[in-house]
Amino acid sequence: MYLKNIRLQQFKNYQKAQVQFSKEINCFVGVNGSGKTNLLDAIHYLCLTKSAINGVDLLNILHNKDFFTVFGDFDLEGKEIEVRCIFEAGKKKQVLQNGKAIEKMSEHVGLLPVVIIAPDDTLLIKGGSEERRRFFDNMLCQMDKQYMDRLVRYQHFLKQRNALIKQFADKGKWDKAFVEPYDKEIIELSKLIATSRKSFTEEYGPLLKEFYDIISDNQENIDIQYDSHCLSEDFASEFKNNWQRDFMLKRTNMGIHKDDFQFGISDYPIKKFGSQGQQKSYVIALKLAQFQIFLTHKKTKPILLLDDIFDKLDDIRIAKLMNLVADHRFGQLFITDARPERSKAILAAIEAESKFFLIENGLISTDVF
């Protein structure tokens, strides 16, 4: 699949912009803060109806304006898909596919797979469990609509239950009858979601190892594990028996929102024992395995967004990644770089069509070289 063009209005630092892309490699160059990442983010928005950077849509509107639009035309294995995302302050976001309004975002998410490799990806290793859950949940949501619906329902019930617990704490009294319907839903959904995460990790793990070996070129043994307390036989009773702790801490302390994914290297946590280089390789492998799993399930090559990677990766890892590009493992690629000459030199060595775009303070010009 590929994105043919994009039209922006009042999205982040773009007043108005319109560009035609190459089917192969597109490189956005320009000084720091010019809007390269914002343009990548607009592509992400079209695919997933949300920003990769800012979950609050109000902040994605150009300063002092009250709406933004992001439009784009995709070719999905020969099928034309026009996507329109419109957000106006104080109103519900609108997404249209070929002119037809999307009611539930799950109807759109997953249709146009996208993978982003960005500088703050190391948070996947260094950050808390929330980062890892978000990464795997996003991936699963793009592949499995039922998973997305379950996750949305889970978050809804969890929010309701937490609000109820706060009320109990204010009154100083726990009311079992009120909380029981939420317990039932949360327990049931936790088991289903944890089971999906577990079987997904089993399919994803071997791909992760394969890409880690390619990128790192060494013999370390890496692994990934997902062990959820929600999968234990006693989970339902443990969840209910935990009410005193919930009452004391004023929130729900068991369920899939507490799970974590363990990233290991030579049988130890990579977060604590991995070198910087090993962690970088692991993060790229996580993303390339994501690309491969989408390709397998969706039967189309996802769009790959590479934000600032020439700056953040060392020469060896860049060379490994570019070997994969040269082997045509990927489909359409979007790359940002603050140093045009560097990206030109790297991409000149690859047999693929590259188009360069110069970004200057929210203005885009083509034919840079």
Ligand X SMILES: Nc1ncnc2c1ncn2[C@@H]1O[C@H](COP(=O)(O)OP(=O)(O)OP(=O)(O)O)[C@@H](O)[C@H]1O
* Parallel/antiparallel/unpaired status of strands 333-337 and 303-306: parallel
The yes or no reply on residue 13 touching ligand X (CB under 6 A) is: yes
Piece of 35-43, 218-226, 234-242, 283-291 that binds ligand X (CB under 6 A): 35-43
The yes or no reply on residue 269 touching ligand X (CB under 6 A) is: no
Which is nearer to ligand X, 139 or 305 (by Cβ)? 305
Tokens representing 360 are 């200057």
Distance CA 157, CA 239 (A): 15
Query: Could you say which of 33, 181, 206, 269 contacts ligand X (CB under 6 A)?
Result: 33
* Parallel/antiparallel/unpaired status of strands 333-337 and 100-101: unpaired
Tokens representing 118 are 């960005």
Site string for ligand X, 329-368 (x = CB under 6 A): -------x-x------------------------------
Determine the size of the site formed for ligand X (CB under 6 A). Answer: 18
C-alpha pair distances (Å), 219 with each of 90, 101, 178, 212, 265 = 54, 50, 55, 10, 11
The yes or no reply on residue 6 touching ligand X (CB under 6 A) is: no
The yes or no reply on residue 36 touching ligand X (CB under 6 A) is: yes
CA distance between the termini of the chain? 27
Which is nearer to ligand X, 12 or 287 (by Cβ)? 12
Question: Considering the complex, what minimum distance in angstroms separates the CB of residue 105 from ligand X?
Answer: 22
Query: Could you say which of 3, 62, 109, 321 contacts ligand X (CB under 6 A)?
Result: 62
Q: How many CB atoms lie within 10 A of CB 265?
A: 22
DSSP 8-state code for residue 328: T
Query: Could you say which of 32, 219, 244, 276 contacts ligand X (CB under 6 A)?
Result: 32
C-alpha pair distances (Å), 320 with each of 74, 155, 256, 265, 276 = 29, 39, 36, 20, 17
The yes or no reply on residue 113 touching ligand X (CB under 6 A) is: no
Question: Considering the complex, what minimum distance in angstroms separates the CB of residue 56 from ligand X?
Answer: 10
- Tell me: is residue 64 an annotated ligand-binding position: no
Closest CA to 83 of 114, 47, 55, 115: 47
257 neighbors 246 (Cβ within 8 angstroms) = no
Residues that bind ligand X (CB under 6 A): 12-13, 30, 32-38, 59-63, 308, 336, 338
